Amino acid sequence: MKKIISVLLGLFLFAPVSYSQSAPDFTLPDLNREQVSLSDFIGQVVVVDFWATWCGPCQVEMPHLQALYDDLHEQGVQVLAISVDEARTASRVKPHVQSRGFTFPVLLDTSTEVVSRYNPQMILPYVVVVDQTGKIVYRHSGYSAGDEVELRNVVTGLIQ
């Protein structure tokens, strides 16, 4: 009985959870100060990643997001990387992104208004997958090697 409970608890804690709640819309400036809204991408699968330049695990995760974007963007997958660097460190974001060759949209949430709606604990990195209808279908906090495989499986499952 104890073993069954452990297995069920493990599945509950680590399996992707379907939230089927609408993702709160937001509008944030990108690195060129153009306004970008989540609702601009209805009809696409959107991977929303909250990160910061000072976050070590975020730096390890970001190249995996770029690979996902490169491989699946043509199939209707968008990555929105939302930097939560505060106003005094936000000037580091654009050079950081350019030096690493990231081509997906990067947005600035210097007031942390958007991240606080999605992730009040401010655990970074924090990934949310929004399906084509605007529903949250997956959430994941932190990064460990192999998380990118799970994320890719969730995303490809939505576009097949």
Bridge-based pairing state of the strands 106-108 and 77-83: parallel
The 10 Å CB-count burial string (b at 16+, else e) for 75-85 is eebbbbbbbbb
Distance CA 92, CA 123 (A): 20
Residues carrying an active site annotation: 58
Please state the φ and ψ torsions of residue 144, each to the nearest 5 degrees: -135, 150
